[in-house]
Amino acid sequence: MTRREFWTDATARLETAGVEAPRRNVFWILEEVTGADRASLLSSPSLPLADDDRQRAEAMVQRRASGEPVQYILGHADFLDLRLAVTPAVLIPRPETEEVAEAALERIASVEQPLVLDVGTGSGALALGIAHARPGATVVAADVSREALAVAMGNAERLGLDVSFVHADALRPQFADSVPPAFDLIVSNPPYVPRSEHPTLQREVRDHEPGLALFVDEDPLVFYRALAGHARRLLAPGGWIVCETHADFGADVRDLFEEAGLAETAIAQDLSGRDRIASGRQPGA
């Protein structure tokens, strides 16, 4: 079987299975299996696909057709300039979260050696993205999931980035005792999807990504209330909190931050024009 024959057949099967961008998914799989980039694959479509490569790629295509996210199948996802290992223990990093990282980096651009806390680090995307962009930063990352922390720690080690990891629950009042004050930046992509939305989500998200990192029950702002409380204790004067939000609750998070006594509260839109990035500043600087 040639490369072209494989990608033509696999693309048709993924399209039938309702996979978004099926051709792109097939090329990601072929790149992973063959070690060739897309340009090389396209420039030599008549090359035969080795039997071992075909079998591996076929197994991946079958998994993708079943709804498993391609990032879990490949075992990695790209975030900013980093390639992060991902497993079903962590959320798959998304472009919107890259925008959160960029907004957070703007807030500490003038701080020479910032102290940064990432709450709910998951794969470590925000913590590692900031550590990579700001080599002089001291970065602490916390998560309630030991499985997620293992993934994040592995990413930090593989990338050679110095981040300290803490096992702690942001919903507990004792959380603030688990990390050292006073931070110049707290950044977070907390769980914010109401559990009532579970049936409406894509099957890739609904059936495969960790519910612990996705869903909240009765109060959609529960994590933001906790973060606002921690910010009062943990932020240095003039320090910032920057959080990803549900598009429907961004303005509510901004208002909550303002009610908690933070200054310069704001909600920014993502590239799709949806409320996505809530921020506020600790008074006193």
* pLDDT grade for 88, boundaries at 50, 70 and 90: very high
- 44-71 residue pLDDT tens: 999 999 999 999 999 999 999 999 999 9
CATH: 3.30.470.20, 1.10.8.10, 3.10.20.520, 3.30.70.20. Which one for 3-66?
Answer: 1.10.8.10
Q: Which residues of 93-105 are buried (b: 16+ CB within 10 A; e: fewer)?
A: beebbbbbbebbb
Q: Closest by alpha carbon to 274, among 141, 104, 6, 94?
A: 94
Q: Buried (b) or exposed (e) across 227-240, using 16+ Cβ within 10 A?
A: bbebbeebbbebbb
Domain residue spans in the chain?
3-66, 79-281
Predicted local confidence at residue 285, as pLDDT:
67
The dihedrals phi and psi of 59, each to the nearest 5 degrees, come to: -65, -40
- What is the per-residue pLDDT across 98-143, written as a single tens digit (0 to 9) for each? 999 999 999 999 999 999 999 999 999 999 999 999 999 999 999 9
Pick 79-281's CATH classification: 3.40.50.720, 3.40.50.1370, 3.40.50.150, 3.40.50.12780.
Answer: 3.40.50.150
Whether the pLDDT of residue 181 is over 90: the answer is no
Q: What is the pTM of this model?
A: 0.95
Q: What is the pLDDT of residues 131-165, one digit of tens each?
A: 999 999 999 999 999 999 999 999 999 999 999 99
